[in-house]
């Protein structure tokens, strides 16, 4: 396939056994966006932050959409394959452990992280999904045998994500074998300090 490398920032810990936080921005963000947030989790994680290869009216995204909340699923599958292939090459180049990657995605970034869970169920060691939507209408039955832990936070007042759809997505992830910790927060689509605190606690519990 004709894959394009992604722009990235990599910050190593120097520890070959460290987990790597894979940072995936929201629409209009870039590879620098989530680095300040990741600093809340301490300095024991490598940081790999990517920029999406798709541009929507000049705003970086990880995959195309057909309208608000309507994903171009063919492009999403392709971009997920492209990202995973890029990370595999980068692991060799930068020297991080391919089996110790924890995705951290917000909005559009959470959705390609979710697509990675679905397409490559055992690729990620874990995932933090802030304000995600189910990536594909049908997400299949091939799941993980590793009880991969997933942090999932939604906003009760979020106008962009349907609460019923979130319930279905959660059920589907659990049926695929993911160990999901779900938090429904009193906020909108924006990230809050509560998201950061809860996900920091979740990380420390699952990946110390």
**pLDDT tens, the chain, 208 aa long:** 689 999 999 999 999 899 999 999 999 999 999 999 999 999 999 999 999 999 999 999 999 999 888 999 999 999 999 999 999 999 999 999 999 999 999 999 999 999 999 999 999 999 999 999 999 999 888 899 999 999 999 999 999 999 999 999 999 999 999 999 999 999 999 999 999 999 999 999 999 7
C-alpha distance from residue 139 to each of 45, 65, 72, 136, 169 (Å) = 30, 17, 14, 6, 9
The pTM assigned to this predicted structure is: 0.97
Active site residue 107: yes
Catalytic residue among 30, 75, 188, 189: 189
Catalytic residue among 154, 158, 195, 199: 158
DSSP string, 75-108: HHHHHHHHHHHHHHHHHHHHT--TT-EEEEEETH
- Which domains does the chain carry? 7-207 (3.40.50.1820)
Among candidate residues 104, 195, 125, 114, the one with its CA nearest the CA of residue 158 = 195
Pairing of strands 8-11, 70-71: unpaired
Active site residue 189: yes
Catalytic residue among 107, 153, 154, 199: 107
* Crossing angle (nearest 10°) for helices 108-119 and 73-94: 80
pLDDT at 141: 82
Strands of the chain, DSSP E:
8-11, 20-24, 46-50, 54-56, 59-61, 65-67, 70-71, 101-106, 126-130, 149-155, 179-185
Active site residue 158: yes
pLDDT at 178: 98
Q: How far apart are CA 93 and CA 8, in angstroms?
A: 13
């Amino acid at each position: 396939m004709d894959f394009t490398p992604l722009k990235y920032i990599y910050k190593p810990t120097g520890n070959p056994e460290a987990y790597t936080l894979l940072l995936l921005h929201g629409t209009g963000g870039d590879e620098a966006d989530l680095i300040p947030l990741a600093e809340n989790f301490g300095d024991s994680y490598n940081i790999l932050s990517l920029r999406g290869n798709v541009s929507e009216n000049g705003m970086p995204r990880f995959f195309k959409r057909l309208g608000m909340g309507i994903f171009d699923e063919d492009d999403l599958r392709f971009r997920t394959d492209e990202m995973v292939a890029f990370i595999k090459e980068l692991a060799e180049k930068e020297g991080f452990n391919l089996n110790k990657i924890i995705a951290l995605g917000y909005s559009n970034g959470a959705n390609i992280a979710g697509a990675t869970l679905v397409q490559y169920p055992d690729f990620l060691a874990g995932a933090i999904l802030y304000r995600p939507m189910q990536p594909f209408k049908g997400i299949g039955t091939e799941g993980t045998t590793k009880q991969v832990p997933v942090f999932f936070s939604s906003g009760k007042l979020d106008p962009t994500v349907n609460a019923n759809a979130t319930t279905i997505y959660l059920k589907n992830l659990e049926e695929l074998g993911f160990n999901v910790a779900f938090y429904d927060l009193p906020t909108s689509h924006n990230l809050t300090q509560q998201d950061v605190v809860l996900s920091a606690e979740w990380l420390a519990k699952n990946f110390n």
